[in-house]
Amino acid sequence: MLSLRGKDLVCQQAVELVTAYLEGALSGKDRRRFERHLSACANCAEYLEQIRSTIRLSGAVQADELTPEAREELVRLYRRWRSG
């Protein structure tokens, strides 16, 4: 996990912590620092909401609703992500 040093987060650190935040994996101290950054940074707050929306919407898609091309693209992206 990302090492958090110093009092305030910068945007790059906040972006790297979004998944851990959503999974409840941050310590109390790091969660408070993350939320403090969000309260002062509209861009990071918007990014967090975009990720939440993506999770919500992607969970609603059923495999049989996807075209064969869309399924192939998702598999290709997943494989590329796993190999990187």
Asked whether residue 1 is assigned to any structural domain, the reply reads: no
Q: Report pTM.
A: 0.65
Summarize pLDDT for 21-79 with one digit per residue, the tens. 999 999 999 999 999 999 999 999 999 999 999 888 888 778 788 899 988 998 898 78
Answer whether residue 5 is part of any domain.
no
Which one-letter amino acid corresponds to residue 73? E
The count of other CB atoms within 10 Å of the CB of residue 30 is 18
Q: Considering only CA atoms, which of 74, 83, 67, 81 is closest in space to residue 19?
A: 81
Cα dist from 49 to 15, 19, 24, 45, whole Å? 12, 12, 16, 6
CATH number of the domain at 51, please.
1.10.10
3 occurs within a structural domain: no
Our count of domains for the chain comes to 1
Question: Could you report how far apart the first and last alpha carbons of the chain are, in Å?
Answer: 17
Structural domain for 24, as ranges: 11-83
Yes or no: say if 26 and 34 are a contact pair by the CB < 8 Å rule: yes
